[in-house]
Amino acid sequence: NVNDLIHQSELIGGNYRIGMFRVNGGYAHYTAEQGVGNSAGTRTDNSWTVSMSLLPTPENEIALGFNEMKGRHAGFNGGGNILNPFGNTTGVSTFADGSKKAIYASWMYHVDRQLDVYLAGDHFKVDGGWVIGDAQGNGNRFGAGQAFNNETEVAIGARYKF
């Protein structure tokens, strides 16, 4: 319940390990009332993901995955971007159908019990009328009506656990 509007989600997922491989998958269904007293209608999203991890040695971990989010009658926020699930949908007055697809991969090397180094990358694309902020939160409008409707990111880093 967000400002007297009902948001609901149902999710299912799991993973299965086969030797050095782990396969993961999941599905989510989401609905949200929009506008005062649901005067703007209900949003419906369906999302799924599948990924795989490979552990060839105790030090190395490789992952690859894909996810897709499809939304119908999704409301825009005041900044012109599609609202995230469970956001405040009270003031919604414009809508769009659309989707976001993403593929991602990573390699992590476990130097020791406390230190990991990694290389990660992803690529996403929006379709239909969806407009979303990029992964870094840059700009108010990204996607439909813009010169670009996709983004590719690459990161290299280290993680120290204490």
Which tokens go with 126? 């929006």
Q: How many angstroms from the chain centroid is the CA of residue 113?
A: 29
Distance of alpha carbon 10 from alpha carbon 3, whole angstroms: 20
Q: What average pLDDT does the segment 45-70 reach?
A: 96
Q: pTM for the full model?
A: 0.78
Q: HSE of 135 in the Cβ direction (CA atoms, 13 Å)?
A: 14
- For 109-149, the pLDDT digits (tens) are 999 999 999 999 999 988 888 877 654 455 544 444 444 67
Instruction: Give the mean model confidence (pLDDT) for residues 19-32.
Output: 96
Which one has a higher pLDDT value, 94 or 118?
Answer: 118
**Neighbouring-strand partners of residue 60:** 109
The beta-strand segments (E) located in 19-114 are 21-34, 41-54, 60-75, 95-110
Distance between CA atoms of residues 101 and 103, nearest Å = 7
Question: Over the chain, what is the mean pLDDT?
Answer: 88
Tell me the one-letter amino acid at 34. Q
